[in-house]
Amino acid sequence: MKYNLLGNTGVLVSEIGLGTMTFGGGAKWGMFGTLDEKEAGYLVDLALDAGVNFFDTANAYAEGRAEEILGKTLKSKRHQALIATKVRARTGPGPNDIGLSRLHIIRQVEESLKRLNTDYIDLYQIHNPDQLTDWEETLRALDDLVRSGKIRYIGNSNMTGWEIMKTRGISNLTVCIISKAANRIIHSPQGRSKGRLSLP
């Protein structure tokens, strides 16, 4: 397995990671896959044996079930894994059960830690931009979580290059110590439109 640096952190991550969108199924997420705990555990073990150390999930995948399954399958192997999860998507019916407000981020990191059965998250990512919340609010909440040790690094997902540069500029102008470690985009030979806009 080849390994690459995670941003400028000095941490090495496998060139190939294992995504968990197919773990858990459910009404909304079943169209992506319905792997149960046993099947997912088999995949995680195969990945670890192949040298994969990067596992990507999200609080919204299978309504949190994907995080639970990943947490159970990695329980005794946590030291071998770098876990990335995400925040922003709707997690309940309430008006504050979505977004990148301090309230939602703090609640969701606590829920993710419980589901993943871990004391810390290696990479906590903004799943999508939030048009209702000021970036300062979001970045300060993430900065506080890094300082508390609940998350180690932050990153983003599905953001354009100009959005990434805006958040970097804001973090340079505020007291935030944040340096984003990763940018996750969906890019394939068939779908390149995001890729053109995602490199700052």
Tokens of 86: 């995400």
- CA dihedral (160, 182, 187, 82) in degrees, to 10, reads -150
Catalytic residue of the set 3, 61, 120, 124? 61
Tokens of 83: 């876990």
Counting Cα atoms < 13 Å in the Cβ hemisphere of 121 gives 31
Q: Which of 28, 52, 59, 196 is nearest to 126 (CA)?
A: 59
Residue 153 annotated as catalytic:
no
Does residue 104 contact residue 76 with C-beta atoms inside 8 Å?
no
d(C-alpha 141, C-alpha 95), whole Å: 19
Concatenating the DSSP letter of every residue in 66-108 gives HHHHHHHHHGGGGGG-EEEEEE-S--SSSTTSSSS-HHHHHHH
Residues belonging to the active site:
61
